[in-house]
Amino acid sequence: MSYQYLPRIADKVINVALEAAGAVLIEGPKWCGKTRTAEKWANSVIYMQDPDSRDSYQKTADTKPSLLLKGDTPRLIDEWQMAPVLWDAVRFAVDQRQRTGQFILTGSATPKDNVVAHTGTGRISRMHMRPMSLFESKESNGSISLQELFDGEKDGDTISSLSIEALAYALARGGWPASIGEKESIALRRSYNYVEAVINADISEADGIEKSPARVRTLMRSLARNIATTATLKTIHSDLSGDEEIISEKTISSYLNALRRIFVVEDLPAWSPAMRSKTTIRTSSKRHFCDPSIATAVLRATPDSLLQDFNTFGLLFESLCVRDLRVYAQAIDGEVFHYRDRNGLEADAIVHLKDGRWGAVEVKMGAKEIEAAAENLKTLRDKVNLDKMQEPSFLMVLTATEFGYRRDDGVYIVPIGCLKD
């Protein structure tokens, strides 16, 4: 069935980017809604993957790429990486026209290295688009705004109507726009189909090197088992030792790079703040897919099975929260990291804005874990060197519970079903 366009948080980001740069590049995984969103802002479109015109477009790009740039602006060039020469053509056209908002490029894969002559700095603004957050899919009521938390304008009292059963389904379905509002059986099947496409085709197309589907599947299962952890290549290699498909660490690394090129894997980098005392901060990234439904699909998990395995559910819930925090943070000019030091002190997410403000987040599904999580956050706050950094704008425990509030110690308890940008 056709689906109705739901407004995206990315719309705000695109609007600002078009006003500030001659061209905007929207990157992200296939099926996350890049083209549909870009179409809302474009006045003319060229689809590089259109089978009726693809060969003609390629020949034109090889001979005179500027012809493909003619059209009302902003002109959308969908899947521009099909003809990488268009990057330099767009950059040159922006220089010649000396106007903002001329082009929108979308891409579901990063081209091979050294295929463009110029980085596009100053001409082409980049933005990363992800699958839909719970607020965009209308499963979060949005009563708690991340922006308002940074601005200190929220008391925190709220109630989520998102049940644990509904959350398990939203996690397994994923934030894929075409699945929002679809029948449960169809939506879950689409997540499985997405993973099969990645395994059997997309990953090999990323760098033009044929890969064993069995090995890709084995690796993705390991990543799913190690979701939201700092598992190293050695750990993943060890995890695979019992599988029939033996994969070397070198192969694992090359496959991971290919998965990153198509934006299926998006690890969470470590945060390195200034600390009061000498503390060795772990620099390993946490393992995440762009959407937790990829992990559930490759593990063949279902909403019902998640409700029977709260250990796995908890890790996947953290991954869902990271996805949503990334979407919300992008809209307010921020990035998301994680923190962990040698003493085991950690925060599942650090939202850091470009102006230096930051907030720390612990992700906990149940109410019984809230007290320990809040104490953990306060310990982290006290260890940060406030002579070199700002005080945290907020400390938050992000939960799967019903009630949200601000504790007497200032820590916010926020249900994921209440959060927005």
Residue keyed to tokens 């020949």: 59
**CA–CA distance, 103 with 253 (Å, rounded to integer):** 35
Distance between alpha carbon 317 and the CA centroid of its chain, in Å?
14
Give the helix/strand (H/E) hosting 21: none
Q: Which two tokens stand for residue 134?
A: 């719970």
Per-residue pLDDT of 195-236, as tens digits, reads 999 999 999 988 889 999 999 999 999 999 999 999 999 999
Residue keyed to tokens 């589907």: 213
**What is the mean pLDDT of the segment spanning 237-248?**
76
**What is the mean pLDDT of the segment spanning 86-101?**
96
Q: What are phi and psi of 376, to 5 degrees?
A: -60, -45
Confidence of residue 156 (pLDDT cuts 50, 70, 90): confident
- Predicted pLDDT of residue 243: 62
- Predicted pLDDT of residue 352: 97
The answer, yes or no, to whether residue 117 has pLDDT greater than 70, is: no
Per-residue pLDDT of 364-407, as tens digits, reads 999 999 999 999 999 999 998 888 899 999 999 999 999 999 99
H helices, E strands: number in the chain: 15, 14
The answer, yes or no, to whether residue 245 has pLDDT greater than 80, is: no
Confidence of residue 118 (pLDDT cuts 50, 70, 90): low
Contacts for 179 with CB less than 8 Å, ≥ 6 apart: 173, 186, 187, 190, 191
SS3 37: helix
- Average pLDDT score, the chain: 93
The answer, yes or no, to whether residue 297 has pLDDT greater than 70, is: yes
Please state, as a whole number, how many other Cβ atoms lie within 10 Å of the Cβ of residue 119. Answer: 11
Query: Which pTM was predicted?
Result: 0.95
Q: Quick one: which of 137, 154, 194 has its CA closest to 320?
A: 137
- Predicted pLDDT of residue 5: 86
- Predicted pLDDT of residue 11: 96
SS3 357: coil
